[in-house]
C-alpha cells in the first residue's frame, strides 16, 4: 500500500484541499513552489504507463480538477502541471499523481 493510498484511506493525515468521488488533492509536504498540490486518483493506478483506454475520463477529470484548483488557489499569473512517470521520470510514489505548482515564476527547462 502506498503512502497516497494511506492518505485516501485516512490512515495518515494530509492537508486536503479538494476531494470528490474520483480523486483527492492535498498540499505536498515538501513543496517546490509556494503552491504545490498533489492530485491523485482514488483508483490505485501506479503510473501513467499503467493507464489504459478505460482511464481516459479519469485522466481528463484529474486535469480539470487541476484547472479548478489553480483558480481557487489564486494562480491567475500561471501554473505548471507535472506528471512524473517511472524512476527515470522522477516518480517517487507508485500511485499516479499530478503536481500543481505555482505562486512564483517557474523556470525552463524544469529538470
CATH of the domain at 36: 3.30.428.10
Cis before residue 60, ω within 30 degrees of 0?
A: no
Q: Which of 30, 50, 97, 99 is catalytic?
A: 97
Owning domain of residue 92? 3-102
**pLDDT band for position 110 (50/70/90)?**
confident
Count Cβ atoms within 10 A of the Cβ of residue 37 and give its class: 0-12 exposed, 13-18 middle, 19 or more buried. buried
Residue 61 domain-assigned (yes or no): yes
Neighbour count for residue 27 (Cβ, 10 Å): 15
The pLDDT assigned to 111 comes to 61
Residue 110 domain-assigned (yes or no): no
Start-to-end C-alpha separation, the chain: 28
- 47-94: per-residue pLDDT in tens? 999 999 999 999 999 999 999 999 999 999 999 999 999 999 999 999
Mean pLDDT to the nearest integer, 38-43 = 98
Q: Which three cell numbers stand for residue 75?
A: 494562480
**CA dihedral defined by 102, 36, 91, 19, rounded to 10 degrees?**
-120
Q: What is the pTM of this model?
A: 0.95
Residue 108 domain-assigned (yes or no): no
Residue 107 domain-assigned (yes or no): no
Residue 111 domain-assigned (yes or no): no
Question: For all residues of the chain together, what is the average pLDDT?
Answer: 96
Domain count, the chain: 1
Distance CA 98, CA 103 (A): 17
Residue 109 domain-assigned (yes or no): no
99 belongs to the catalytic site: no
Residue 81 domain-assigned (yes or no): yes
Amino acid at each position: 500500500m502506498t503512502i497516497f493510498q494511506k492518505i485516501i484511506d485516512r490512515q495518515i493525515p494530509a492537508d486536503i484541499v479538494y476531494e470528490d468521488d474520483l480523486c483527492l488533492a492535498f498540499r505536498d509536504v515538501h513543496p517546490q513552489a509556494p503552491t504545490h498540490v498533489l492530485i491523485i486518483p482514488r483508483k490505485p493506478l501506479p503510473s501513467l504507463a499503467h493507464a489504459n483506454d478505460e482511464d481516459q475520463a479519469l485522466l481528463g477529470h484529474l486535469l480539470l480538477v487541476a484547472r479548478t484548483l489553480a483558480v481557487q488557489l489564486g494562480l491567475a499569473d500561471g501554473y505548471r502541471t507535472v506528471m512524473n512517470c517511472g524512476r527515470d521520470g522522477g516518480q517517487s510514489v507508485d500511485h499516479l499523481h499530478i503536481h500543481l505548482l505555482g505562486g512564483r515564476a517557474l523556470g525552463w527547462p524544469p529538470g
